[in-house]
Amino acid sequence: MKEYYFLLSSITSAMKGEKILRGAGYRASVFRDTSMNPYGCGYVIKAFGEKEKMSTLLKKSGIRINEIREER
């Protein structure tokens, strides 16, 4: 299972996205890294799973994703 970083523009979106992913059974956590995420306040969701499924789930829930990066 790969590790992905969803770069978002607000802590509110990050917290909501984390809750959505966890509710769907994915392992997810939120952290702040302004060097990795230059968008907004620098919050990132780190999640393990299938990128397309997680991305679709977040987008359908109204979470705007600025960028997705694979494990560093």
CATH code (residue 37): 3.30.70.3090
Averaged over successive runs of 10 residues, the pLDDT of the chain (72 residues) comes to 94 97 98 88 95 98 96 72
pTM of whole model > 0.85? yes
Write down the pLDDT at residue 57.
98
Helices and strands (H and E) in the chain: how many: 2, 4
User: What local confidence, expressed as pLDDT, does residue 27 receive?
Assistant: 98
Domain that holds residue 45: 2-70
Give the integer Cα–Cα distance in Å for 3 and 71. 5
Give me the count of residues in the chain: 72
Dihedral angle over CA of 3, 11, 54, 27, nearest 10: 50
Predicted pLDDT of residue 32 = 94
Please give the helix or strand (H or E) that residue 52 lies within, else none.
helix 51-60
* DSSP 8-state assignment for residue 10: -
Number of domains into which the chain is organized: 1
